Amino acid sequence: MTGLRGYLTDDIEFLRKRDRELRDEYAGLRFESATGPVHGDAHVQNLMVDDRGLMPA
């Protein structure tokens, strides 16, 4: 049986289930490093900004 845009319903359900599993796993991750620069090569082309052009806090 097909569903969303012709994909097999079983495939859609598999992907939804996998998405939930991965989100749960990611939510449980703990990072040792604080949020901040990854390396000391700071210049304009290395900045990460949001849609408004602001650096995330």
Structurally, the chain folds into a number of domains equal to 1
Residue 35 lies in a domain: no
Residue 16 lies in a domain: yes
- What domain range is 3 assigned to? 1-29
- pLDDT at residue 4, rounded to an integer: 62
Residue 9 lies in a domain: yes
Q: Are 1 and 8 in contact (CB under 8 A)?
A: yes
Residue 34 lies in a domain: no
- Hey, CA dihedral for 21, 57, 38, 35, is it positive or negative? negative
Q: Are 49 and 55 in contact (CB under 8 A)?
A: yes
Residue 43 lies in a domain: no
Which portions of the chain are predicted below pLDDT 50? none
How many other C-beta atoms lie within 10 A of the C-beta of residue 9? 11
Residue 15 lies in a domain: yes
Query: Is residue 12 classed as helix, strand or coil in its secondary structure?
Result: helix
